[in-house]
Amino acid sequence: MAEGISEIVATLMMLVIVSSIGIGLYVYSMGYFTTTASALGEVSRLDVNTLRERFAVVDVIVSRSGGGTEVSAAVYNYGKTTVTLQMMFLNGTQLAVSDVERVPPGGLIWFNGSVPVTIPEGSLCYLRVVSALGNVHETVVVS
Amino acid sequence: MLWGMSMKQLWSPEAKRKGVSTVIGAAIFLLIFTLAVSAVFVWTQSYANYVEAAREESAFIVEKNMEELMLMFLNSSGKLAVIARNPTPMTIIVTQVWSNHSVQTGEWVIPAKSRVTISTTLDYKGMILSKVVTSRGNVFSGTQTIGEGEGGGEIPEQDIMDAGRWYVQWYNLSARQVFDTKLGNSYWQSLSITFSWGAAENDPIFGPYTQVGFNATTRVVALGTKMYINWYVNEDCRVIVKEIGADTGWNSGAGYLEADVSPGGVYTVTVLYSRWTGAPYLTLNLVNADFLTLLK
């Protein structure tokens, strides 16, 4: 009788131990795989959005005032996703942009930036517009 | 372990009880395995989405590069009108028309192999300051209109040069380097020219004419502080850069002009060529310069 009880207890204990370890493993695995899948999904979504983002600078106005130079770039979004314009560079120098601009699909906006240096009239400049997703459009302008 | 067991041991009550934990272990393994498989499925699905997006993007780039418009910008009572010819087998949609820094947006559909006139409310500012933008993000200007005036009108020399061409006028010579009678025009499209024709003195260059010359002029934008114009000619050529007063005089053989220029500055380059005797050839190359179309 005693032997039978100890066998039941041993079996129950074994069940509890195996179940505990198993459940622990399951919970850990669930967290790991869920996080991994979520991260991979997010990376993939970002990559796809980066790939689908399309914009072009179609016109540029360079003007000088008060010892500084202001640049207005007409940016056209010819893609199907909204483009967030983040930065602008003139000959590698970052311009101070007034605000982050969002361009809806098919939209055309003027993206403005300024630099506290007067760029001589007729200078050849490379203007680079950068989106929040890291896409770049570069164009040559004469100030 | 199993190999060492007898049939009795395998079917004993002890073996049955041990099987309970095996079942639980297997169930948990199955759960974890299912999780892993679902994670892999999510990853492969994401990857498939990415590949599909890349494929769509590639197809779009092909379509974008296939777009071609032949444009003519007209002055219609002070307003800009655009005649757009679509020589491609696909429909093109023009979404913007620019005149200087003013834009008119809209949707003008130009079916395949057809011609459409776009009337705008924009003031006409000349061909170089006009352009159109398509729904696929291409920007087209009027460089393709050279050589054929809509309605029979001649295109001004200035427009030809601003559109990225050499304006080449051919002459019959009465003596070496003496340009008498104008024979006709050409429009060259490269800043690297190789002109070579015939070998003998009596080989014609322009129709029946053997002793001819040309006056080729274009406007370029300087890309550095030095602009070089190199030539190799049998006889004779002369290079003039108007804005800096440079004139090489008449040359034969190989030579070059080193011009001090301002980056972004616009310069008018004229090349005169005179063939009197001998093999007619001229190789010309401009370095640190590009046609004005770069600025569009």
CATH number of the domain where residue B125 is located? 2.60.40
CB of B291 less than 8 A from some CB of A? no
Q: pTM of the entire structure? A: 0.58
CB of B93 less than 8 A from some CB of A? no
Q: What is the pLDDT of residues A9-65, one digit of tens each?
A: 888 888 888 888 888 888 888 888 888 888 888 888 888 889 899 999 999 998 888
Q: Are B106 and B25 contained in the same domain?
A: no
B95 and A41 within 8 Å at the Cβ level: the answer is no
Superfamily classification of domain A54-142: Immunoglobulins (2.60.40.10)
Nearest to A37 among B43, B60, B135 (CB): B43
Q: Are B193 and B286 contained in the same domain?
A: yes
For residue A138, what is the enclosing H or E element?
strand A136-142
Q: What is the pLDDT of residues A89-138, one digit of tens each?
A: 988 889 998 788 899 999 999 999 998 888 887 778 889 999 999 999 99
B49 and A44 within 8 Å at the Cβ level: the answer is yes
Q: Output the average pLDDT for chain B.
A: 82
Give the residue, B164 or B137, on which the prediction is more confident: B137
A33 CA: distance to closest CA in chain B (Å): 6
Q: Are B142 and B178 contained in the same domain?
A: no
Domain locations along chain A? 1-52, 54-142
The helix/strand/coil state of B257 is: strand
Q: Is the separation of the CB atoms in B69 and B133 below 8 Å?
A: no
Tell which residue, A98, A113, A131, has the closest CA to residue A62: A113
The helix/strand/coil state of B157 is: helix
Flag whether B148 is in a domain. yes
Does position B146 have pLDDT exceeding 50, yes or no?
A: no
The alpha helices in chain B, defined as continuous H runs, are: 7-10, 13-66, 157-162
Q: Are B113 and B176 contained in the same domain?
A: no
A124 and B28 within 8 Å at the Cβ level: the answer is no
Instruction: Give me the residue label for tokens 């007409």.
Output: A74
Q: Are B90 and B193 contained in the same domain?
A: no
The DSSP bridge partners found for residue A83 are A103
Flag whether B131 is in a domain. yes
Measured between its terminal Cα atoms, the distance across chain B in Å is 82
> In CATH, what number is assigned to the domain containing residue B243?
2.60.120.1560
C-alpha count within 13 angstroms, C-beta hemisphere, residue B196: 7
Distance of CA B34 to the CA centre of its chain: 53
Q: Are B133 and B166 contained in the same domain?
A: no
pLDDT class of B37 with cuts at 50, 70, 90:
confident
Residue B115, domain extent: 70-154
**Which residues of A are less than 8 Å from B222 in CB distance?**
124
Q: How many domains does chain B have?
A: 3
Flag whether B218 is in a domain. yes
> What's at B139, amino acid-wise?
V
Q: Are B233 and B288 contained in the same domain?
A: yes
**Which residues of A are less than 8 Å from B24 in CB distance?**
15, 18-19, 22
Q: Which residue of A has its CA nearest to B99?
A: A59
Distance of CA B107 to the CA centre of its chain: 24
Q: Are B30 and B142 contained in the same domain?
A: no
* ipTM of the complex as predicted: 0.76
Q: Are B213 and B244 contained in the same domain?
A: yes
